[in-house]
Amino acid sequence: MKRILTIVAAAVLAAAGCGGGASGGGSGNRLSIATGGTTGVYYVYGGGLAKQLSSNIANTQATASVTSASVENIKLLASGKADIAFSQSDTAADAINGKDTFTSKQPIKAIARIYDNYAHVVVAPGVDAGTVAELKGKRVSLGPANSGTQVVARRMLEAAGLNPDTDITKQQLSINESVQAAKDGIIDAFFWVGGLPTAGITDLAASKPDMKMLDTSDVLQKMQETYGEQYVSLDVDMGVYKLSGAIKTVGIANVLLVPDSMDEQLAYDITKTLFAKKAELSAVHPEAQKLDPALGQQVAPVQLHPGAARYYQEQG
């Protein structure tokens, strides 16, 4: 399934005419937006953004593409196969430093911080696990390969004292595959890092209301000690999934990235459209309600693209 999604993503990217398409030419800008799985927030948000960029930037056609998300998205940017990418800030930090999943520093810049991701650790009905540490010995999906979810999942397990490769029966499933596997009893739990609500988890909760999400506040301090303050504590009202109760979980900022070679005026126009069309984007997904120019500039340690920096300077 993951291979099929990768092939589909590649086909969509090719159809969008990226791979240098943003440089324009007589036919204008053809922009590919690298997002994530179809039931995640990145894809929904990216589709809305593509529509607004196509409608509001002259001679521009933007398309949202299905991907494995953060890690793959950055690699697509660096290779010229995508023009805009959604990413978690921790993955972006690894990319600019050439660390962990990146063997060299990646040529990327940010145009905005957009909203925060919530770490979801979802436990299938009937499975006895109340903490991350209690996932030991269980069948657990860490998210698809080349995803920001997998980066966070491995770090959370390590913070709980588990080896992600030996202390669980590891699977690498997309959000769509994880939800179905949990329904079918094929896995005991899965990690997902995304906004609220995530459609796939809404679907799972509707069909399996005895599923649960773990409070992960017990691993946060260790993650902060190891990786810094990029990880924060966030509250989740489970009412967002029509379940009862509330939990605390690990949070990570999301950023929109572009190649550092992007034309300054184009980066300015993309940034301007993002904030100018907040209402329209919020109608597509409620996480867009968090768009704010003051927050948008907070992309460290990634540098702002000069075009985006110019937009923020004009806001005063």
- List, for residues 16-32, the tens digit of each pLDDT value: 333 334 544 345 899 99
Q: How many whole angstroms from its chain centre is CA 272?
A: 21
- CA distances from residue 132 to 30, 57, 121, 270 in whole angstroms, order as listed: 43, 46, 8, 39
CB atoms within 10 A of CB 68: 25
SS (H, E, C) 20-69: CHHHCCCCCEEEEEECCCCCCHHHHHHHHHHHHHHHHCCCEEEEEECCCC
Residues 225 and 159 in one domain: yes
Residues 231 and 294 in one domain: no
Residue 316, token pair as written in the block: 């005063």
- Which residue among 237, 252, 267 closes a domain? 252
- Which residue among 227, 252, 277 closes a domain? 252
Which residues on adjacent β-strands are paired with residue 248? 235
HSE-up (13 A, CA, CB side) for residue 250: 33
Residue 173, token pair as written in the block: 């499933």
Residues 209 and 179 in one domain: yes
Residues 202 and 171 in one domain: yes
The pLDDT assigned to 295 comes to 95
**What is the C-alpha to C-alpha distance for residues 41 and 43, in angstroms, rounded to an integer?**
5
Whether the CB-CB separation of 262 and 83 falls below 8 Å is answered with yes
HSE-up (13 A, CA, CB side) for residue 76: 33
Residues 242 and 258 in one domain: no
Give pTM, 2 decimals.
0.87
The number of folded domains in the chain is 2
- Which residue among 252, 278, 306 closes a domain? 252
304 secondary structure, DSSP code = B
Low pLDDT (below 70) residues in the chain: 1-27
Residues 237 and 258 in one domain: no
Residues 110 and 122 in one domain: no
Domain that holds residue 58: 2-115+254-314
The pLDDT assigned to 130 comes to 97
**Residue 135 backbone phi and psi in degrees, to 5:** -80, -5
CATH number of the domain enclosing 186: 3.40.190.10
SS (H, E, C) 177-229: HHHHHHHHCCCCEEEEEECCCCHHHHHHHHHCCCCEECCCHHHHHHHHHHHCC
Residues 27 and 86 in one domain: yes
Exposure string for 240-253, b = 16+ CB within 10 A, e = fewer: bbebeeebebbbbb
Q: Give counts: helices (H), strands (E), the chain.
A: 12, 10
Whether the CB-CB separation of 67 and 73 falls below 8 Å is answered with yes
**What is the C-alpha to C-alpha distance for residues 221 and 232, in angstroms, rounded to an integer?**
9
The pLDDT assigned to 229 comes to 83
- Omega before 301 cis (within 30°)? yes
Residues 122 and 242 in one domain: yes
Residues 231 and 168 in one domain: yes
How do 231-237 and 84-88 pair as beta strands?
A: unpaired
